[in-house]
Structure 1
Amino acid sequence: MKVRNAIHGDTPALNVTDTVGEALGALMEHHLRHLPVVDDSNRLIGIMSEEALMTADSHTTPIDGLVARQPIAVHPNDHVFDAARTMVRHGLSTVPVADAEEQYVGLIRRHDIFDTFARMLSTQASGAILALEVDPRDYALAKLVHLIEQNDAKVLAVASETPGQTNAQKHRVTLKLNVTDTTRLRHVLEHNGYEVVASFGDDDDELAERVEAFMHYLEV
């Protein structure tokens, strides 16, 4: 999904002529820690943080001298993954969206990215979630999907983490399936070298234990 489809249109940017008090009020109103700052021609100037505002001597001080003049932004045609990466890299609660001429288009909030990822991962669809770990040399997505489909199930969404992204030594894969009973499928996956770390959404009596295991898996 492109950034332009995830822009939050109800949160206005700050203007360089706004005061500290006005900027703090906007942050509180929208429950954010960062807001883009534009000039009178709607050009993106930078990002105003709550932390910087709290250092001001007076609430009547214009934010022009406090704003971090680093026009960090993503383009409307970028993928939402780019927005998420930018947000994490710079520790932001919002990411400005600007065109090639640095004209401000809008912003994406952390919640917007979360909602987009939730839709991409088919979280609203009925079905179980399996969390797997496998040695990197044995991981092939096509092979994994084929194995699942051979057992009368389909993969609705997949997310993966390589060992370089985490402290784990194995490749981590989270699958959203179109079935709720994965008892047989788990045995098949284990037999083929996949370690089923957690399973959520099944219809048997082991659900509580697997939810606890899944939470532990996420904390590792």
Structure 2
Amino acid sequence: MKVREAIHSATPALQSSDPVEEALGLLMEHHVRHLPVVGDDGRLVGVIAETRLMDAEGPDASIESLLIGRPVSVPPDAHIFDAARAMVEHDLSTVPVADSEGQYLGLLRRHDIFDQFAQMLSTRQQGAILALEVDARDYALSKLIHVIEQNEAKVLAVASELPENSTDDIRVTLKLNVKDTARVRHVLEHHDYHVVAAFGEEDGELEELVDEFVRYLEV
């Protein structure tokens, strides 16, 4: 999934000449804490934060006078993971998209990125989620999928977290196409995969978890 496919066009950028009062109004209207700022030529000149605006000398001060540093952005052909990394590294609620010339193309919100992740992980598909831990020395994705699919289940999506220390286990999250995972869990444990949690085996449980998290992102 490329960034250009997830650009959100309904949330506008600010003009560098806009006053602080107008900028704060747009932040409140669109429920974000950061907005990109563009110049008269349409180039990205910065990203302004709500906290920075609140420190301005007055409501009529121009945004341009508050900008510091180089603007954070991601290119349109980057993967959605790159946008997520930039957002986390810089603690942003929105991240601008700009081309190699600095021309502003749009932005991504946290909600947009989460929605893409949710689609990639098949969260809306019927089925359960298993969380596993496995020794890094024994981890092989092909073997794991083979074990599962030999027991009348299909793997719809996989996500893994690498260990921070060499002695830690790899954490693996699996989305399956079945709700009853009792047999799969038993077989996985037999193959030394430690199943630490199972979600979505009750009707509506997984969808409720996703919806709750989406509501949290929109606060």
Looking at structure 2, the residues matched to 167 and 40 of structure 1 have their Cα atoms a distance apart, in angstroms, of 51
Report deviation, 1:176: 0.3
Equivalent residue, structure 2, for 1:82: 82
1:163 aligned counterpart, secondary structure: coil
1:23 aligned counterpart, secondary structure: helix
Q: Note if contact 1:45-1:69 (Cα within 8 Å) is conserved in structure 2.
A: no
Report deviation, 1:152: 1.0
Report deviation, 1:70: 1.5
Structure 2 residue identity aligned to 1:108:
L
Equivalent residue, structure 2, for 1:8: 8
**Residues 1-220 of structure 1 aligned to structure 2 (within 5 Å):** 1-164=1-164, 169-202=168-201
Structure 2 residue identity aligned to 1:182:
T
Q: Note if contact 1:131-1:198 (Cα within 8 Å) is conserved in structure 2.
A: yes
Structure 2, gaps ≥5 residues long: 210-219
Report deviation, 1:203: 5.4
Which TM-score applies when normalising by structure 2?
Answer: 0.90
Looking at structure 2, the residues matched to 203 and 72 of structure 1 have their Cα atoms a distance apart, in angstroms, of 42
Looking at structure 1, the residues matched to 174 and 120 of structure 2 have their Cα atoms a distance apart, in angstroms, of 12
Report deviation, 1:202: 2.2
Looking at structure 2, the residues matched to 103 and 83 of structure 1 have their Cα atoms a distance apart, in angstroms, of 17
Report deviation, 1:201: 2.0
Report deviation, 1:69: 3.8
Structure 1 residues 57 and 167, CA, compared in 2 at 3 Å: closer, same or farther?
A: farther
Q: Note if contact 1:20-1:62 (Cα within 8 Å) is conserved in structure 2.
A: yes
Q: What do the CA deviations read for 1:59-84 (whole angstroms, capped 9, x no partner)?
A: 01111110234221000000000000
Looking at structure 2, the residues matched to 129 and 151 of structure 1 have their Cα atoms a distance apart, in angstroms, of 16
Report deviation, 1:135: 0.6
Count of residues in Structure 1 that have an aligned counterpart in Structure 2:
205
Structure 2 residue identity aligned to 1:8:
H
Q: Note if contact 1:47-1:69 (Cα within 8 Å) is conserved in structure 2.
A: no
Which TM-score applies when normalising by structure 1?
Answer: 0.90
RMSD of aligned residue pairs (Cα, Å): 1.8
Structure 1 residue identity aligned to 2:94:
T
Q: What do the CA deviations read for 1:186-208 (whole angstroms, capped 9, x no partner)?
A: 0100000100000112259xx9x
Structure 2 residue identity aligned to 1:101:
E
Report deviation, 1:168: 8.4
Looking at structure 1, the residues matched to 16 and 71 of structure 2 have their Cα atoms a distance apart, in angstroms, of 13
1:59 aligned counterpart, secondary structure: coil
Structure 2 residue identity aligned to 1:148:
I
Structure 1 residues 16 and 203, CA, compared in 2 at 3 Å: closer, same or farther?
A: closer
Percent identity over paired residues: 64
Structure 1 residue identity aligned to 2:62:
P
Report deviation, 1:167: 11
